[in-house]
Amino acid sequence: MDTVLKLEKLSKHYGRIKAVNEVSFAVPKGSVFGILGPNGSGKTTTLGMILGVIQPLSGSFSWFDNLSPQEAKKHIGALLETPNFYPYMTARQNLTLAAKVKQIKEPNIEEVLEQVKLLDRADDKFKTYSLGMKQRLAIASALLGNPEVLVLDEPTNGLDPRGIAEVRQLIMDIAARGITVLMASHILAVVEKVCEHVVVLQNGVLRFEGLASELSGDAALLRIKANNDSQLEALLSQHPQIQNIHRDGHFFDLEIDPELKAEELNQWLAERQVFLNHLEIKQAGLEEGFLKLIDS
């Protein structure tokens, strides 16, 4: 499997704070790769280093099997933290300038503006834009020249729910074209829907590397409800195959033995005169896996 990016024990310390500490991972070509972590876990610092704006303390990284950083950047579209543009220029002028910097001969400015739905505001000055529009323009700029790799740091920042859904769809469309997407976010719902590979950073340390499904785990979850909460709770605590009970209002989320079938539990409760009015089988999501890892 080809890798587009490889990090080798990359570190960056600010005084005594180890923002990034000996982080190593590899991004496979064509993957949608998520960097997860709470605020301040070192996501942006890591991306800053691989994009050449932060000098690493130690360790190394290489793009496309040791291509020079200048050469590599021609194949990378990146959005780091905030959208940075010239406030006095229009969106079109900003993209024209970005294309000159990126050495794109025939920039697909109209196309990328269309993709982020900014065509009708293309000739307005950047300083008149809302945060969501600025964010979309930054994504448009990253898409200029059809890069092989897209690096996105919190791409849904400042977007409303509709905007988040649109960007998520855009990322999936981009990934479908075979473009590698490296994305950092703390919004798990977005990562869960688009990323196959994930790494988890916490306090600058790599906590997990693997497939998103591995992080989620395969523990089954049942969500149940009955008319009598206390009677149900008392019974559940006696069942040998229930590993964990989490009460959520009138609902009970159960982590159960994979052997235990939902209908068996239902029958067992009915035999003891407790009748369920809600029974739902849930797959443990990324959020559960993530929180379990972070809290451990």
Partner 1 sequence: MMRLIAIEWYKLRTHRFFWWGMGLFLVLLSVLLWTFGKIPLPGGGPKAEDAADAGMAMMLLPRTFEEAGFYRLPLIWQNATFWASFFKFIPAFLLLFFVSSEFEYRTYRQNIIDGLSVGQFFLSKVFTLVLFSVLSTIVVGITIVVLAYANNDMAEANLWAESSFLIGYFMETFFILCMALFLGFLTKKSVITIVILIMYYYVVEQFLGYWLSEPGEALFDYLPTRPSRSLVPEPISRILDFFGQREAPSLNWHMWWVSLAYSLVFLFSSYFLIRKRDL
| 93 belongs to the binding site for partner 1 (CB under 8 A) | yes
For partner 1, the closer CB: 27 or 95 = 95
98 binds partner 1 (CB under 8 A): yes
Q: Check: CB of residue 186 under 8 Å from CB of residue 287.
A: no
Element at 99 (helix H, strand E): helix 91-101
User: Does residue 3 touch partner 1 according to CB under 8 A?
Assistant: no
Instruction: Tell me the closest approach of the beta carbon of residue 143 to partner 1, in angstroms.
Output: 12
Q: Is 172 in contact with 100 (CB distance < 8 Å)?
A: no
Measure CA 288 to chain center.
15
Find the binding residues for partner 1 in span 26-65 (CB under 8 A): 48, 51-55
Q: How far apart are CA 170 and CA 115, in angstroms?
A: 8
Q: Shortest Cβ distance from residue 55 to partner 1 (Å)?
A: 6
Residue with tokens 């923002």: 19
Pick 100 or 272: Cβ nearer partner 1: 100
103 contributes a contact to partner 1 by CB under 8 A: yes
Nearest to 147, CA basis, from 73, 80, 92: 73
Cα–Cα distance measured from residue 91 to residue 87, given in angstroms and rounded to the nearest whole number: 9
Read off the amino acid at residue 269. Answer: L
CA distance 119 to 268: 61
Nearer to partner 1, 101 or 211 (CB): 101
Report in angstroms how near the CB of residue 49 gets to partner 1 at its nearest.
9
108 part of the interface to partner 1, by CB under 8 A: no
Under rule CB under 8 A, residue 128 binds partner 1:
no
Q: Which is nearer to partner 1, 19 or 286 (CB)?
A: 19
| β-strand partners of 25 | 7
Instruction: Tell me how far, at minimum, the Cβ of 103 lies from partner 1, in Å.
Output: 7
Report the candidate in 202, 226, 211 with the shortest Cα–Cα distance to residue 286. Answer: 211
Collapse the DSSP code of 8 into the 3-class scheme (helix H, G, I; strand E, B; otherwise coil) and give the result: strand
Of the two residues 86 and 275, which places its CB atom closer to partner 1 in the complex? 86
Candidate residues 96, 203, 231, 241; the one interacting with partner 1 per rule CB under 8 A: 96
The binding site for partner 1 (CB under 8 A) comprises 48, 51-55, 70, 73-74, 78, 80, 82, 84-89, 93, 96-98, 100-103, 141
